[in-house]
């Protein structure tokens, strides 16, 4: 692994994310991905389905740089409805584990009034650090 989880002694371990990460390697910045496919088409308006697609998009872009999900060090989620996010949290977690696995980078989730694409319910930005070849 090319990064260290930063977990202060005595702190409760967060669930589903890390408080901090220190990493060495090639930095990759992925723009906000929404729940449409590579042809800019939405296949679902359901929140958890759009999360799955946005994460799938992130993994595809990361692969272009030679990276994998375990290289992710930060995700920033912009959601249009906190209520919808929490109502589908079980399906969101299942989609996350299916696409990203058991990798838990630093994260923030922010509710916003709207996203530029009217059908988008979530937008996720990502940062990854890919290890330098040995």
Tell me the pTM: 0.90
Tokens of 76: 């920033």
Kindly report, residue by residue over 66-79, the tens digit of the pLDDT.
Answer: 999 999 999 999 99
DSSP secondary structure of 47-92 = HHHHHHHHHHHHHHHHHHTT--GGGEEEEEEEES-HHHHHHTHHHH
Report whether pLDDT(94) > 70: yes
Domain boundaries, the chain: 28-130
Report whether pLDDT(24) > 90: no
* Most distant CA atoms of the chain, gap in Å: 47
Which CATH architecture group holds 28-130? 2-Layer Sandwich (3.30)
């Amino acid at each position: 692994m090319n990064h260290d989880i930063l977990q202060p002694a005595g702190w409760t371990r967060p669930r589903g994310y890390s408080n901090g990460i220190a990493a060495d390697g090639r930095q990759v910045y992925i723009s906000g991905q929404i729940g449409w496919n590579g042809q800019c088409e939405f296949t679902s308006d359901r929140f958890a389905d759009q999360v799955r697609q946005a994460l799938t998009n992130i993994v595809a872009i990361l692969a272009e740089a030679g990276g994998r999900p375990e290289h992710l060090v930060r995700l920033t989620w912009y959601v249009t409805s906190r209520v919808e996010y929490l109502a589908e949290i079980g399906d969101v977690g299942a989609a996350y584990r299916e696409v990203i696995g058991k990798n838990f980078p630093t994260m923030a989730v922010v509710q916003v009034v709207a996203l530029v694409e009217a059908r988008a319910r979530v937008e996720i930005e990502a940062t990854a650090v890919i290890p330098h070849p040995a």
